[in-house]
Amino acid sequence: MSKFNKYNNTHSSTHSLTHMKRYIKKIGLYALLMGSLTACYIDPTTIAPVAVVTPPVVTPPTKGTADFTKYVAIGNSLTAGFADGGVYRVGQLVAYPNLLAQQFRLVGGGDFPQPLYSEAQKDGTGYLRLRNMPSTTVAPNVQPFGPGSTGFMGGIIGVNGTTPLYAKHVGVNNNFGVAGIKISDVLTAGYGFSNPVGFNPHFERLLGASNATSTYKDYVLANSTGTTFFSMWLGNNDVLGYATAGGTGAAMTDVTTFTTNYQAMIDAITPIASKGILVTIPRITLAAHFNVVTRTSLLATINAGLPTGSPAVTAIFIDASGTTRSATDADMFLLGAQADYGNFGRTTVGTSVGPYGLSPTNPLKDASVLDATEVVEVQTRTNELNAVIMAQAIAKNLALLDVNLAGGALDRASTTGFVSNNLIYRTSFISGGIFSLDGIHLTGGGNAIIANEMMKVINTKYGSTLPLLNTSNYKGVYITPLP
């Protein structure tokens, strides 16, 4: 990998600085060596012979009791390779199912066709780009890029008049990842059908005229013939939509509906493939989206913009589900609400009675903060839904990756840092290396970490010896400099 690409892996600012220092030292060392070679001569007869080292025996990887001949991936945006706020070719190619399939091929796994956007349509639905190298004094410049709402269908809009259509995928597909899908949606007929009631355009692009009104479960079944191994990572969106909307969005899926629909998916796929892996719902506190903006950082930004001599602002007032109070560190501010945070202090926003967000008479709106009570609600529901997933793994004797496991990769990344291939990964925004520019979905490096964690569980469960990926070969956040 070139030095340029290596620096594009934005994992840890400390690591990058250390690496740069080491690189500079190496340049100096090479220069000294070149000078010394012109000044002296070493008699080769005085050099002791180098001992012959027998290379270790490399044992070929094995599949154990699993069969990876045909692998399919069931899931949502994480499975689809969604990154940086959109679905585009680069993200699809480093989606964790594609990385898993790459390793499965070492033990007899077959091809893994995906609904890739073509090279001509590589920007997919559009995505976010980082245009500068941020620092403690320079804020990150994140800009939308690509077709956005017009997709690659020449601006064609669904018959509901608002939702864009994306370029259709035609042909075989083993990656059933659909951005935005919830467990509560998997049995809904017409979920991918362009109609006035509403639909999911990411699912719509997978469907043809013959199955336009198919349920997600039926689509999975229709494309799973001959499947020997599967992964299923569903459930994130059943709590995430509520959380990213500050507790004002669609209600979280109730446990009864989740149990019924999740079991329906498991009961559909396991008669075809009895071996597979389930993945739990990560807790929101792990995602950069909920951690990059804090009460402390907001107060620092507000006070930095005050005229010289102005009294310091010490409190931010929020609408906590109908109750106005001063924010605490237990409240979560949202990466997606930064436009609203730009209104702090304005008297033309909100109730217009006092400076916005800085007065108890004009608090920050409810949707712009996930208050402490809502945080507990989300965590509680996440635990309840994860209990359903874990129970199904036990009932069907499937491998299980609990992404919330104490001491697991994401847990360590959120505290001391997760070390892989001599790089330190964290859950911090941009510099952490795991989360993309939307703060929720994974970078290439993040996908490689998840794929490795899945393979560790698969190896333990089925006695396989799948080799782990070198995570340093997969990039973190890209920087696209301004012209």
Three-state secondary structure of the chain: CCHHHHHCCCCCHHHHHHHHHHHHHHHHHHHHHHHHHCCCCCCHHHCCCCCCCCCCCCCCCCCCCCCCCCEEEEECHHHHCCECCECCHHHHHCCHHHHHHHHHHHHCCCCCCCCCCCHHHCCCCCEEEECCCCCCCCCCCEEEECCHHHCCCCCCECCCCCCECCCCCCCCCCEEECCCCCHHHCCCCCCCCCCCCCCCHHHHCCCCHHHCCCCHHHHHHHCCCCCCEEEEECCCHHHHHHHHCCCCCCCCCCHHHHHHHHHHHHHHHCCCCCCEEEECCCCHHHCHHHCCCCHHHHHHHHHHCCCCCCCCCCCCEEEECCEEEECCCCCEECHHHHHHHCCCCCCCCCCCCCCCCCECCECECHHHEECHHHHHHHHHHHHHHHHHHHHHHHHCCCEEECCCCCCCHHHHHCCCCEEECCEEEECCCCCCECECCCCCCECHHHHHHHHHHHHHHHHHHHCCCCCCCCHHHCCCCCECCCC
Pairwise pLDDT comparison (199 vs 398), residue with the higher score: 398
Q: Dmax of the chain from CA atoms?
A: 90
Is there a contact between 179 and 88 (Cβ–Cβ < 8 Å)?
Answer: no
Domain extents in the chain: 71-285+374-473, 295-328+332-370
Q: Hey, what are 249's tokens?
A: 């969005």
- pLDDT band at residue 482 under the 50/70/90 scheme: confident
| pLDDT of residue 275 exceeding 90 | yes
| Interval 45-101: pLDDT, tens | 344 555 666 666 668 999 999 999 999 999 999 999 999 999 999 999 999 999 999
Rounded Cα–Cα distance for residues 265 and 263 (Å): 5
Regarding the domain with residue range 71-285+374-473, which homologous superfamily does it belong to in the CATH classification?
Answer: SGNH hydrolase (3.40.50.1110)
Phi-psi label, residue 247: left if phi above 0, alpha if psi -120 to 50, beta otherwise: left
Rounded Cα–Cα distance for residues 365 and 317 (Å): 9
Q: Please report, rounded to a whole number, the percentage of residues in the chain having pLDDT higher than 90.
A: 74
| pLDDT of residue 469 exceeding 60 | yes
Q: Hey, what are 120's tokens?
A: 């001509």
Residue among 231, 336, 226 nearest 284 (CA): 336
- pLDDT band at residue 428 under the 50/70/90 scheme: very high
Taking residue 381's Cβ as centre, other Cβ atoms within 10 Å add up to 21
**Burial tier of 305 (Cβ tally within 10 Å: 0-12, 13-18, 19+):** exposed
Q: List the end-to-end C-alpha distance of the chain, in Å, as a whole number.
A: 25
Rounded Cα–Cα distance for residues 483 and 480 (Å): 9
Which of 51-55, 264-268, 442-446, 471-475 has the lowest average pLDDT?
51-55
Phi-psi label, residue 357: left if phi above 0, alpha if psi -120 to 50, beta otherwise: left
The chain-wide mean pLDDT, for the chain, equals 87
| Interval 183-209: pLDDT, tens | 999 999 999 987 766 789 999 999 998
**Contact residues for 251 (Cβ-Cβ < 8 A; gap 6+):** 242
| Interval 123-179: pLDDT, tens | 888 899 999 988 878 888 999 887 644 445 555 667 667 777 888 999 999 999 999
Q: Can you give the pTM of this predicted structure?
A: 0.86
- Report how far apart, in Å, the C-alpha atoms of 299 and of each of 157, 294, 295, 334, 429 are: 42, 9, 6, 15, 19
Q: What is the mean pLDDT of residues 380-403?
A: 98
Pairwise pLDDT comparison (38 vs 434), residue with the higher score: 434
Say which amino acid occupies 452.
N
- pLDDT band at residue 7 under the 50/70/90 scheme: very low
Say which amino acid occupies 14.
T
How high is the pLDDT of residue 56? 66
